[in-house]
Chains A and B, each alone.
Chain A
Amino acid sequence: MRNILVIDDDEIIQNVLDKVLTKEGFHIELAGNGKEGLSQIEKMAYDLVITDLMMPYANGFEIISRLKKHPNTANAAIIVISSITNEDSIMDGFKLGIDEYVRKPIIIGELVMRIKKLLSPRT
């Protein structure tokens, strides 16, 4: 079973992603802020991390650079979910190594397809 970590301070997003992705057969762990997210990655390895950019304690960019350096998440795909529309910030995210950028409001079906595509074995 693929492990996914969701780091978002919005409990609605957490709740919906938890329900939908669990139904799709993934194992989901939730973190309410950057600090919690970084402590979660110490416990187990993840295949995918979904994170917000603006959160208390540690912002998304900081989290992404830490995820890329940590052995448990160094190879994990990263999806950023954010309402930020600033082009420079999005480009900064891609430079740090994110795989997908999904703008809020989210189309849940589209997000699930992106996740499946990212986690499907590449031939």
Chain B
Amino acid sequence: MFESPYSFENLDVGQNPAWLNWFLSLPLVIQIAVVSILISTCFILYIQYRIWYIRFKNYIYNKRVKYIVPILDDLITEQIVLKSNASQNQFGEPAFNIPNQIRAEFRSRKYRQIIIDRIIKYQADFTGTIGTEMRNLYMELGLDKVSFRKMKSRKWEKKIRGIRELTNMDILIADVNILPLTNNKRQELRSEARNAYIKLSKNEPFKFFDVTTEPLLKWDQIELFKTITTTENIAIPNFARWVTYSNNKSVVAFCMELIVYYKQYDAAPAVVKLLENKDHLLRAQAINCLGKLKYEQAAPQLVHIYSNQPLNCRLEILKALGRMGNKENVTFLKQEFMYSTDFDIRKNAAKSIVRNSNKQQIDLLMESCTPENQLILKHNLNPLIKY
């Protein structure tokens, strides 16, 4: 019979160290228990070491903050806050009067991250002269180079930190460095790079829409929307360009949101073309967009395609017809309200009818419809009801 050469019976117990002989002589259960205890002890020691290490790091960090922050605060107070013309010196001369020793400390590895964080905090709290001078100070201390170096790091979280610092300080990043990151596999990095690109690119802030192949997630869209609508002096293009040519569905959907927000009526014909798109979600959003733009020219086409559409598109068509405010559509809406068997269709048709009819017309309709439809109509007459 085959016997394993590693089984305990085959070990020459006499040649082993004494502790191993003792261990091997123990029952198996005890051996397992001893090994488990050893592993647990090592794990606990490691955790304890990590805790001490983190505490020590925090202690050192706090000590450095306590030392350097008051020096920086005093410098900012004296040379920026209380003196508005700090940088109006001769060209080539340092704009801030910082003693060489302190300048070296600000630039040192030990303190530069603390300095960057503090300057960014000032920049977030103050704009105008103080904000501009903070940017000048950041540049003069060469901290932009530190942030650029972070962007070249292999770690994605360090790259994000670098991008965020440069964006906060309004430092231009070359397209060649930032554009590839807008399409990075890492979602967090991608999102940060896109936001930065919009904020920093003065001429074509939406250029990354051309190159992005990764989808814009819903959260990304919210973030981008906030960045686009709150960034000052941003050049807003005609978003019809991406609605027509982009192969990225999420970019097309997002552009339609922007078309509605910026009321780009010129983009409506491009959106109409999406009514023939195979993706029903995109079609539904196109219909929604046309409704919000009140693009009446699309109404006949919406009525025409209605019967071939899935439920979500039908509901959007009913809403869009209501938003367009065209009285001619009321007949179609009434027909859907009276004869449809689907509750949601009747509800949305009723809402659109209420939007486009006077009290007399609604009273007439109320008389001629079923008790359930009367309830739906009454529900929609409440101005607080919105959907």
Give chain A's interface residues, CB within 8 Å of chain B.
10, 12-13, 15-16, 19-20, 23, 104-110
Contact = CB atoms under 8 A, between A and B. Distances in A.
A110 B127 CA distance: 11
A108 B129 CA distance: 8
Contact of A105 (B73, B82, B84, B125): B125
Contacts of A19: 77, 81-82
B124 A16 contact: no
Complex A-B, nearest 10 residue pairs according to Cβ-Cβ distance, in ascending order: A107-B128, A105-B127, A19-B77, A105-B126, A12-B125, A16-B81, A106-B126, A13-B125, A107-B127, A12-B121
Contacts of A105: 123-127, 131
Contacts of B131: 105
22 contacts: A10-B125, A12-B121, A13-B125, A15-B73, A16-B77, A16-B125, A16-B130, A19-B77, A23-B82, A104-B125, A105-B123, A105-B124, A105-B125, A105-B127, A106-B128, A107-B128, A108-B81, A108-B126, A108-B128, A108-B130, A109-B84, A109-B128
B306 interface: no
A20 B130 CA distance: 12
Contacts of A13: 125
Interface string B122-147: 11111111110000000000000000
B272 to A, nearest CB: 34
Contacts of B81: 16, 19-20, 108
Nearest to A13: B125
Contact of A16 (B123, B126, B128): B126
Contacts of B84: 109
Nearest to A83: B124
**Which size bracket describes the interface of B in this complex?**
10 to 19
A12 B70 CA distance: 11
Given A16-B77, A16-B125, A109-B128, 20 more contacts: A10-B125, A12-B73, A16-B81, A16-B126, A16-B130, A19-B82, A20-B81, A20-B82, A104-B124, A105-B125, A105-B126, A106-B125, A106-B127, A106-B128, A107-B128, A108-B81, A108-B129, A109-B84, A109-B129, A110-B128
B129 to A, nearest CB: 7
A10 B121 CA distance: 10
Contacts of A106: 125-128
Contacts of A104: 124-125
A13 B121 CA distance: 10
Interface in B127-175: 127-131
B236 to A, nearest CB: 20
Contacts of A20: 81-82
